[in-house]
Amino acid sequence: MVIEIAGVPVRITGVDPQYEGFFDDYLSDRPPDFELCPTQADMDRVKEDLDQMFIARGSRPPTWYNEGFLQNNAIHALLAERLIDYGVLLMHGSALCMDGQAYIFTAKSGVGKSTHARLWREAFGDRVWMINDDKPMLRVGDHSVLVYGTPWNGKHRLGRNACAPLKAVIGLSRAEDNSIRPASSIEGFQLLVKYAYSPRDPAAMKKVLALEQQIVRLAEFYTLQCNLEPGAALTAWQGMNAG
């Protein structure tokens, strides 16, 4: 099958039957720019990375991984690596569009990215739609950054095959009271380094750092301290758009 991610058509071969239909919203009839076919080594590498993630969180690695799950995650990892050459960067965060502009909320797992995005949907209604609730792609140009949906859109499957220009990246942290402030360029760059895709290959990492520097020049960055009450959405919106 050929899918199109962030405007780039890619042929995917050998998709496990468990994931039939997973890519339906992203199917394309364009000639592919390249082909991905995960190997056993790719799947072993994914399992190793997942195990290390659980260990770092103080948990025992799970035993429920199956071949289809590992293959699907390997496709995602290979795609993130190849798309760097097209100026596309994978970001871990919850991305929504409001009034035609994209906002990405990012933080460690469990802090409340998806919950905060839900508060925006509840507060602003039809003005808001989800681009991707977990792993959006950022296509970096000379004058703008476009945020794209992907099939890997979180456990609640919130997102769509669409894009919007990036307005801001917001780093979340929990607090009793809601407050927001602009982040410095250094803080913005640190957010990207922490939550964007980080390849093993030094040459690829150099390209990623260049993309991150360009994003810092083109987008706004904020630090948001918030609770999980509806007022958090209003504080964030007004803090980024007042005046």
3-state class percentages of the chain: helix first, strand second, coil last, to nearest 5: 40, 25, 35
| The CATH number fitting domain 89-241, selected from 3.30.2130.10, 3.90.228.20, 3.30.830.10, 1.10.580.10 | 3.90.228.20
Per-residue pLDDT reduced to its tens digit, 5-57: 999 999 999 888 989 899 999 999 999 999 999 999 999 999 998 888 888 88
Average confidence score pLDDT of the chain: 93
User: How crowded is the C-beta side of 239, counted as CA atoms within 13 Å?
Assistant: 22
For residue 57, the model assigns a pLDDT of: 80
pLDDT of 65 reads 86
Measured CA to CA, the distance from residue 128 to residue 138 in angstroms comes to 19
More confident of the two residues 181 and 62: 181
| Residue 186 contacts residue 158 (beta carbons within 8 Å) | no
Percent of the chain with pLDDT over 90: 80
Average pLDDT of the segment spanning 214-238: 94
Q: What is the mean pLDDT of residues 2-7?
A: 97
pLDDT for 5 equals 97
Cβ-proximal residues to 105 (8 Å cutoff; 6+ apart), any chain: 93, 94, 95, 96, 113, 116, 117, 170, 172, 224
* Cβ within 8 Å of residue 36, ≥6 positions away: 10, 11, 12, 13, 75, 78, 79, 82
pLDDT for 243 equals 57
In the chain, where the domains are located: 2-86, 89-241
The predicted-structure confidence for 94-127, as pLDDT tens digits, reads as follows 999 999 999 999 988 777 889 999 999 999 999 9
Lookup: tokens for 121: 């949907």
Residue 20 has what pLDDT? 83
Token pair in block for residue 207: 């390209």
Confidence of residue 169 (pLDDT cuts 50, 70, 90): very high
Return the higher-pLDDT residue of 148 and 61: 148
